[in-house]
Structure 1
Amino acid sequence: MHRIAVLALPNVVAFDLATPLEVFGRVRLEDGSPPYEVRVCAPEPEVSAGAFTLRAPHGLEALTDAGTIIVPGCHDAGRGVSPDVLDALRAANARGARIASICAGAFTLAATGLLDGRRATTHWVGAARFAEMFPRVDLDPGVLYVDEGELLTSAGAAAGLDLCLHLVRRDHGSAVAAQAARLSVMPLEREGGQAQFIVPEQLPAPRGSQMEPLLIWLEESAGRDLTLDEIAARAGMSTRTLNRRFREQTGTTPLQWLHLARIRRAQHLLETTAHPVDRIGSQVGFGSPTAFRDRFKRVVGTSPQSYRRSFR
């Protein structure tokens, strides 16, 4: 039987902790037998979980023979993690254990150094802080989870369900995973990635810089068919100088920023109006329905129709 250790650290997020317990604890093979033994372990006997305190039945020794270790997020993600915990996770990785984080648990996993040079994800709210703290990790904040073989990370809260079901499918195939998904009232695969859940107003829109007047004008004019020459003329710069200064202050190009502003506006219209999708694409400045759908899918990770079904 495959042993799974769920690591409860101080101020653990109760949802993140419960997700693997419920998913793996309910899995059954065709003969009705359970393939997993799930344990909760902690560095201390009692651990705060926000509104309550839990008593973990196992200490860090449970990590020494676990085939899979799940690291839930904590409410104070980014705070220092006990060296004993980090050492235990490194040792588990060295002997071949599979380690997966849920939500902000990626902060703990990254603190071990095991994610350096690897692709990973975490909750989009903490993505900027994560990138600042762990610049050696290839952060992808737009996906629901990342599978790097024996190291896996997932995005916020419900994405932990996606990750756990993915592990079940890796271990026992789609039929067993599909049944586990039905018990969790979840699709085995959700369409799109984490990008569709990011609040539009919180997508990058730098303010307080030399470019602020231009950024405001771009947002106001996003519905027009603007060219780079027109944007440069508005800024009073050559296109080459504009591209250089714009990238220095925003991290992207004027046209990429404009496309993002258009998609942000389209998300709002999809959520709040019944306008046809093609009309919305035209309203926000795309020259053709195909161009709008392709750009929306690239930025948000799902189609405009699917986004509307989820969020209107």
Structure 2
Amino acid sequence: MKKIGVLTSGGDAPGMNAAIRAVVRKSIYHGIEIYGIKNGFQGLIDGYIEKMNTGSVGDIIQRGGTILHSARSEEFKYDEGQQKGIEQMKKHGIEGLIVIGGDGSFRGAQKLTEKGYPCIGIPGTIDNDIAGTDFTIGFDTALNTVIEAIDKIRDTASSHERTFIIEVMGRDAGDLALWAGLADGAESILIPEKKDEFEEVIDRLKRGQERGKKHSIIILAEGVGDAFDYADKIKEKADLETRVTVLGHIQRGGSPSAADRVLASRLGAQAVELLLSDEAGKMAGIQNNKLVRHNIADVLEEKHTIDFNMYQLSKELSI
């Protein structure tokens, strides 16, 4: 393999630039031409492709976001769009592709692999919702961003003796809410995997009131429901004034943590090695601090699960 491409797709995550840097420099180290594809799969269709060199990725390891930019592509979900992408790769002589992103991005990579264009996936998403890897690029940084915000909100909650609901990202996976809640001593954590436990939250708030507790922090993953609706329910059932903070896209930004930079560098280099070993359709991951590889098809079929022992611990420590 003499020429490979790299793109980022879906939501951006801190550490994507570190992964791009690793892919580019590892490729050059092995004498391979490397091409950056801008704007994800849509950019592949539109031919936004340019050759990269060592200088292309200088001074980016500490930057959030992605220098290749990202975009969602409805067109690429269909065969015609995929064929357009393949024609662009043929035009530039690209023989393999590294895709950095989440499950939607992996589905595109799998489609290209099935059509004869080998792809390797690198998990990059702050939700940490990809099976087959303990951590995804961006999760650690987003987690620390959330924790910093909770610390500041807790000061206000304590000063004004109020209950606060803090909504974090996580449509289908509660890792960000769970880890942040445990790390910051939240009184209650609501995650998509345990949507039916709101009554426990009310009981915990009432028990706190009985022993004189004046403020509480509740972490809510966005996939559970609307934070403002939950605030209304708390007012109705526990007679507590509740304020809501939706952290939103602030969770995606910022300079990546050391953990994310190292993880991205390791996974980026591994992805190149997998392509060179003719292991098409694989995802580079990490489990028990060891680099692993899994078939993308298996990763997409298997559902990511949270650590329910951690969830139980969070309840035991918030009595």
Q: TM-score, normalised by structure 1?
A: 0.32
Q: Which structure is richer in relative contact order (CA contacts within 8 A, separation 6 or more)? A: 2
Q: TM-score, normalised by structure 2?
A: 0.31
